[in-house]
């Protein structure tokens, strides 16, 4: 195939080829993001996402949004600046959640027999939708970082509460009060995860009484803003065309 020759012979064929490209790129993007995002999220959010007895009002609420806004920011930057496509966050989170569910279902439940109601992943989709819509409406990275990033952190806990609330019902067990989630962690033995490495309900937010979740969520939202900026630039750098020869 010489460079002077056109690859397609008619407009109809061009349209068809372009569409084929769309699907192939989308497929590749989806699974490449899935792989990278999944590893990143497991290494940084890890146990907070794995176990119901780590999903607390302080640290889970803070950590999960901060470490999960990364790939959405980067993919958004690539898809928006090059193609004006505002689905970078949603496609990333859909890919991640597919990977997480495969992992939890096949490995945690299928292979090791931890009940799914103990090791289900966190829900990140509400925040991703907001992030994409803010980017589409504003077309501005700064606004998306500030408004979208903050919203991403804020909506995380309420977006997950309907899923975890049933597990926070208290129970009296052999003379001690605990939540059903705590009991799951006690019952379903994890040899490699002793109780003391569980980082929950730690921190200095004691002055806020029992309303720590909103405070943690705000804090998380603020950090999300910074992380969004950072990863947006990663995405921009990554989607440069300097790596490829020729004009694009």
Partner 1 sequence: MKIIKNRVAKLSFVALLTTLSAAMLHAPTASAHGEKSQAAFMRMRTIHWFDLNWSKDEVAVNETMTISGKFHVFAGWPETVDKPEVSFLNIGIPGPVFIRAGSWIGGQLVPRSVSLELGETYEFKVLLKARRPGDWHIHTMMNVEGGGPIIGPGKWVTITGSMGDFVNNITTLTGETINLETYGLDNIYFWHAFWYALGLAWLAFWIRRPLFVPRHIAITSGKADSLISGTDKKIGIGFAVGTIAIVATSMGMTAEKYPVTTPLQAGLMRGIQSLEMPETTVSVKVEDATYRVPGRAMQMTLTITNDGDAPVRLGEFMTASVRFLDSDVAEDETGYPDDLLAEEGLTVSDNSPLAPGETRTVEVTASDAAWEVYRLADLIYDPDSRFAGLLFFYNEEGDRQMVQVDAPLIPSFI
Q: Which of residues 162-191 bind partner 1 (CB under 8 A)?
A: 162-163, 165-184, 186-191
Q: How many residues are recorded in the chain?
A: 248
For the stretch 156-191, what's the b/e string if a residue is b when 16 or more beta carbons lie within 10 angstroms of its beta carbon?
bbebbeeebeebeeeeeeeeeebbbbbbbbeebebe
Q: What separation, in Å, do the N-terminal and C-terminal C-alpha atoms of the chain show?
A: 19
CA–CA gap between residue 54 and residue 227 (Å, rounded): 23
What residues numbered 27-66 form the site for partner 1, per CB under 8 A? 27-28, 31-32, 34-36, 38-39, 42, 50, 53, 55-57
Q: Per-residue x/- mask for partner 1, residues 75 to 94, rule CB under 8 A?
A: -------xxxxxx--xx-xx
Nearer to partner 1, 22 or 237 (CB): 22
Give the angle subtended at the CA of 242 by the CAs of 34 and 1, to the nearest 5°: 90
Give the angle subtended at the CA of 66 by the CAs of 197 and 153, to the nearest 5°: 115
Q: Rule CB under 8 A: choose which of 45, 149, 153, 159 binds partner 1.
A: 159
What residues numbered 95-124 form the site for partner 1, per CB under 8 A? 97, 99, 101-103, 106-108, 111-117, 120-121, 123
- Minimal distance, residue 133 CB to partner 1, in Å: 4
Q: Per-residue x/- mask for partner 1, residues 207 to 236, rule CB under 8 A?
A: ---x--------------------------
């Amino acid at each position: 195939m010489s460079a002077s020759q056109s690859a397609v012979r008619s407009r109809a064929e061009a349209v068809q080829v372009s569409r084929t490209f769309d699907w192939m790129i989308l497929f590749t993007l989806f699974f490449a993001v899935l792989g990278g995002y999944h590893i990143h999220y497991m290494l940084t959010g890890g146990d907070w996402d794995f176990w119901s007895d780590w999903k607390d009002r302080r640290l889970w609420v803070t950590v999960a949004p901060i470490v999960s806004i990364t790939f959405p920011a980067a993919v958004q930057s690539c898809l928006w600046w090059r193609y004006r496509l505002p689905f970078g966050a949603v496609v990333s989170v859909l890919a991640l959640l597919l990977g997480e569910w495969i992992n939890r279902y096949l490995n945690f439940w299928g292979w090791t027999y931890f009940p799914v109601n103990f090791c289900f992943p966190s829900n990140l989709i509400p925040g991703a939708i907001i992030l994409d819509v803010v980017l589409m409406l504003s077309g501005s990275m700064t606004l998306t970082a500030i408004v979208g990033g903050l919203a991403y952190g804020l909506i995380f806990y309420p977006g997950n509460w309907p899923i975890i609330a049933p597990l926070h019902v208290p129970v009296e067990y052999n003379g001690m009060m605990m939540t059903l989630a705590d009991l799951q962690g006690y019952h379903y033995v994890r040899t490699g995860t002793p109780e003391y490495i569980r980082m929950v309900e730690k921190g200095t937010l004691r002055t806020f009484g029992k309303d720590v979740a909103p405070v943690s969520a705000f804090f998380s939202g603020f950090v999300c803003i910074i992380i969004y900026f950072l990863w947006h630039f990663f995405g921009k750098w990554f989607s440069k065309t300097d790596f490829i020869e020729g004009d694009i």
